[in-house]
Homo-oligomer: A and B are copies of this chain.
Amino acid sequence: MDEAVIRSSPLFAELNDAGYLAIRERMTEHTFRRGEEIFHEGSPGDKLFVLGAGKVKLGHTAPDGREHLLAILGPGEILGEVSLYDPGPRTATATALAKTALVSLQHADLLRVLDARPEISQHLLRSLAQRLRRTNAAMADLIFSDVPGRVAKTLLDLGQRFGQPADGGLRVTHDLTQEELAQLVGATRETVNKSLAEFSNRGWLQLDGRSVVLLDIERLRRRGR
């Protein structure tokens, strides 16, 4: 079960069992299948989510309908916390990329915990600060790196977070279509496809549906910077 993942998420890890149980009973469990929306841009943001299992994409749709992904989140990660600090409608849409289990918690309930245990909010703050740094790094990449470079970097990042050793390489089950990967790196599907093909026939990785096996991490890393 993924209860253990929730329990040990940074948000709750420091609570003792009694404290955790008190907050746990205010949480609601949900499951989603690929393509189902967890929340939509513009809707009121009064809840926060913690992923137990699965994967979620956080995306933003431009007025002209073009879409761009802000982040991919996995087990143990927190979702929707921005509107905890800055109340108002959601500024992004969260969609499940695979079968996903998560719990939701009303902001009000969480704030009660934070009141009692202010040191926990440090974890939330740090995660927000890190998200900001990440985003800044991504912007720098958009400006300075070409598409293959961004693809390589993104795969390495996903590999570090979700990969597991297999088949003489690092298997990364990203659950993304090439279209979604393109939206994540800020390019078109076609260009991403060609970059992947290039990496593949250099033997740096091996494509396999919605996952890849990274074979030559060192070279990918060099290509990424």
Chain A interface (Cβ < 8 Å from any Cβ of B): 60, 62-64, 66, 68, 70, 82, 85-86, 91-92, 118, 122, 125-126, 128-133, 135-136, 138-140, 142-144, 186, 225
Contacts and interface: CB of A to CB of B under 8 A. Distances in A.
Given A129-B82, A130-B86, A139 B140 contact: no
A154 to B, nearest CB: 14
Given A91-B133, A139-B139, 11 more contacts: A60-B140, A64-B144, A68-B144, A70-B136, A85-B126, A85-B128, A86-B125, A118-B118, A128-B128, A132-B135, A142-B186
A225 B70 CA distance: 19
Nearest to A91: B133
Contacts of A85: 122, 125-126, 128-129
Nearest to A126: B86
Given A86-B129, A126-B86, A60 B136 contact: yes
B144 A142 contact: no
A138 B139 contact: yes
A136 B133 contact: no
A82 B186 contact: no
Contacts of A64: 144
Given A91-B133, A128-B132, A140 B86 contact: no
Contact of A139 (B91, B118, B122, B142): B142
Nearest to A66: B144
Contacts of A91: 133, 136
What are the 6 A-B residue pairs with the smallest beta carbon separation, nearest first?
Answer: A86-B129, A85-B125, A143-B186, A85-B129, A135-B135, A142-B142
A110 to B, nearest CB: 14
Given A62-B140, A68-B144, A118-B118, A132 B130 contact: no
Contacts of A125: 85-86, 125, 128
Q: Pick from A132, A186, A225 the residue with the most CB of B within 10 Å.
A: A132
A161 to B, nearest CB: 18
A62 B136 CA distance: 12
